[in-house]
Amino acid sequence: MIEFNYETDFKLNDEARVGFWITDVISKEGFKLEEVNYVFCDDAYLHRLNVEFLNHDTLTDIISFDYCVGHMIQGDIFISVERVKDNAKDYETDFNEELRRVVVHGILHYCGYKDKSKEDAQLMREKENLYLELYNSYVN
């Protein structure tokens, strides 16, 4: 089950499509979906979590709490809509495209992908691009 929660005025306009897509990504990676909760919030909300739970006094676009067991995907993914908007502007990309990149990024972490080294980050980006293409292949 995938749940979408909102701690800000933002709301996904295509929850069903995103839910189907993420379920498909998890399956293609050889995992099974248990439960993923997405929480869309603002910078202040995510900053509080970053300080309280991770001891990081910085802004970020995503924090994921991984409760996966074996190949069962479960966790909470918090996304700052403000950071995504700023990143889309900085990277000169569409907001919705950047948002989908962040949405799938959290899931890819649950599937075992890392992004700390240059090589790992490159593989993560390739997977993000692959799955963004998959999303775009679905009929509206």
Q: What are the structural domains, with CATH classification, of the chain?
A: 2-137 (3.40.390.30)
Reported as a pLDDT band with limits 50, 70 and 90, residue 55 is confident
* pLDDT at site 52: 85
Q: Is 47 annotated as a binding residue?
A: no
Q: 87-102: per-residue pLDDT in tens?
A: 999 999 999 999 999 9
Of the chain, the percentage scoring pLDDT greater than 90 comes to 86
Q: Is 115 annotated as a binding residue?
A: yes
Q: What is the 3-state secondary structure (H, E, C) of the chain?
A: CEEEEECCCCCCCCHHHHHHHHHHHHHHCCCEEEEEEEEEECHHHHHHHHHHHHCCCCCCCEEEEECCECCEEEEEEEEEHHHHHHHHHHCCCCHHHHHHHHHHHHHHHHCCCCCCCHHHHHHHHHHHHHHHHHHHHCCC
Average confidence (pLDDT) over 82-86: 96
**Is the whole model's pTM more than 0.85, yes or no?**
yes
